[in-house]
Amino acid sequence: MSSPILTMSGISKAFTGVQALLDVNFQLRAGEVHALMGENGAGKSTLMKVLIGVHKADSGFITYQGNDVEFNSVLEAQKSGISMIFQELNLIPHLSVAENIFFAREPLKHGLIDYKMMRREASKLLDMFDIDVLPTDIVNTLSVAKQQMVEIAKSLSFDVEILIMDEPTSALTDREIDALFVLVDKLKSRGVAIVYISHRMDELRRICDHITIFRDGQYVSNHRFNEISMDDIIAKMVGRALDNHFPEKKAVISDELIFSAMNVTRHGVFEPLNFDLRKGEILAITGLVGAKRTELARALFGADKLSEGEVFIHGKQKTIRSPADAIKAGVAYLSEDRKLNGIAVKMSIRENTTMASLDKVSSNLGIISNKSEVEAANQYISKMDIKTPTVEQLVGNLSGGNQQKVVIGKWLFRDAKVMIFDEPTRGIDVGAKYAIYELLDELAHQGVGVIMISSELPEVLGMSDRVIVMKEGEMTAMLNTADTSQEEIMQYATGVKNMFPLLEEAI
């Protein structure tokens, strides 16, 4: 085996509150396609961002082409031959393909940009790799797949030695993926090393030579791809420590249906999905990047349109075309980004509690009663044990866990019958997580339908009664939590297994 073109040793990186990488090692050889695998949050993107100078490592060394290096910017890394195609594309939408490729290093003639030369150079590059766009095309008129190809062309214009692709195919069709892989093969035969971050086993099998596995910010192992089975890969990816403890479940599950989704579909985003939720039950929805869980939640909440399907609440069909419809029907959505759309940080607990229910605290003439507002807010402060000196405290001054409680209070006051929590404990410290778990159980106990979207498998196993696993807009499993494991869930999340494989053909 040739000696490595890149060695990263002992790399550690902490963000506030998270050890994203701990003493990680990674080696890459010229001409190989090297997969990085690990659950969401395992540290794959962070490791690559450390390499290309987006993040500075807290400790560790990088050796590239025999020299110790430390890049201070993406441009510096690119100039040395290391480029990364980000999960979020990085082009400038209103500029042409050629302008994007040569951005900030346009060829000059007499001190002015030489557009003719720039187009010619771009054209050469695009032809060489059979990329089907024109140098003059404006980027925001191109499909995501083509934009990605432009990003790749841009990195090739730097004489790339290492090309990093972070989940490149999540937005591509099968044909576009084939085109991408043809390009990958070409690069490989020119000796370019490719780091390929993906969890799609079928793709990895087609193009990868080597694999390095991470778990919880730590290096687990590396293998030649053909020397490890899919099941072994998964076994090494999962098994995060079950270090949070979970409350003893109070809620008792009855047969009464609170919520049913029948054939709910959003064309091009998720396939017809069927599931229901019983009284007292906590239903988890899990999956990896691109599973479309949040998209499902947004559609159930009326924030995006369902193409087809019906929703029933307590047995009655409800038409949900907007968040206002959803709120009226009793569906609440608590998004991952609470600051953005769950809460008004500059308002008091009192105002946050009542803002979605002003009719309930107003007189017939529409005058808001401060006394009723204070009563309502106090009711939820005591019910949910919100730690605050007064109802007038600004919500922005509360801890993350207490903010979460205020949002829940707001929805309970609005008579929510079903609450969809999107990553309810993300960004919340370990201590406050337990309080959120107790709250979810308490809600289920009170008869509220609780749907919990979560990527944290320990949390899914610790909290839910049943779990839906999604992969790219499909439901690949519906499991009884008591009978499953992190490994089995990951098999469905990566598509190694699928409980409903015939669904697509049957439609």
Q: Which of the listed partners (Mg ion, ligand ADP, none) does 46 bind, with a CB threshold of 5 to 8 Å by partner kind?
A: ligand ADP
Which residues, including other chains, have CB under 8 Å from residue 75's CB and lie 6 or more apart? Answer: 104
Residue 167: closest CA among 375, 472, 499:
472
Question: Considering CB distances under 5 to 8 angstroms, the limit depending on partner class, which of Mg ion, ligand ADP, none binds residue 4?
Answer: none
> For ligand ADP, which is the closer residue by CB, 45 or 155?
45
Which of 21, 299 has the CB closer to Mg ion?
21
The interface with Mg ion within residues 106-125 (CB under 5 A) comprises: none
Nearer to ligand ADP, 290 or 409 (CB): 290
User: Do residues 450 and 444 touch, judged by C-beta distance below 8 A?
Assistant: yes
210-215 and 33-37 strand pairing: parallel
Q: Which is nearer to ligand ADP, 199 or 497 (CB)?
A: 199
470, 56 in Cβ contact below 8 A? no
Shortest distance in whole angstroms from residue 415 CB to Mg ion: 39
User: Which option in Mg ion, ligand ADP, none does residue 497 bind, with CB closer than 5 to 8 A by kind?
Assistant: none
Minimum distance between the CB of residue 400 and ligand ADP, rounded to whole angstroms? 14
Q: How far is the CB of 38 from Mg ion (least distance, A)?
A: 9
3-state secondary structure of 197: strand
| Residue 43 binding result from ligand ADP, Mg ion, none, given CB thresholds of 5 to 8 Å by partner type | ligand ADP
Which residue, 20 or 283, has its beta carbon nearer to ligand ADP? 20
In whole angstroms, the minimum distance from the beta carbon of 154 to Mg ion comes to 21
For the residues of 331-382, what is the DSSP string, one character each? Answer: EEEE-S-HHHHT--TTSBHHHHHHTT-GGGGB-TT-PBPHHHHHHHHHHHHH
Answer whether 161's CB lies under 8 Å from 81's CB: yes
Nearer to Mg ion, 84 or 97 (CB): 84
Which of the residues 34 through 73 are near Mg ion (CB under 5 A)? 45
CB of 113 to ligand ADP, least distance (A): 34
Q: Which is nearer to ligand ADP, 88 or 174 (CB)?
A: 88
Nearest distance in Å: CB 419, Mg ion: 28
Q: Closer CB to Mg ion, residue 45 or residue 393? A: 45
Strand partners, 24: 11
- Residue 222's DSSP bridge partners are 212
Taking the complex as a whole, how short is the minimal distance between the CB of residue 44 and Mg ion, in angstroms? 5
Distance CA 20, CA 216 (A): 7
Cα dihedral sign, 447-327-259-411: negative
Distance of closest approach, residue 482 Cβ to ligand ADP, in angstroms: 28
Q: Cα separation of 279 and 448, whole Å?
A: 7
Q: Which does 454 bind (CB under 5 to 8 A by kind): ligand ADP, Mg ion, none?
A: none
CA dihedral 50, 287, 500, 173 (to 10 degrees): -40
Q: Give the phi and the psi of residue 160 in degrees, each rounded to 5.
A: -70, 140
Cβ proximity of 208 and 35 under 8 Å: yes
Interacting residues toward ligand ADP by CB under 6 A: 15, 18, 20, 38, 40-46
Q: Is 102 exposed, middle or buried (0-12, 13-18, 19+ CB in 10 A)?
A: buried
Binding interface with Mg ion (CB under 5 A)? 45
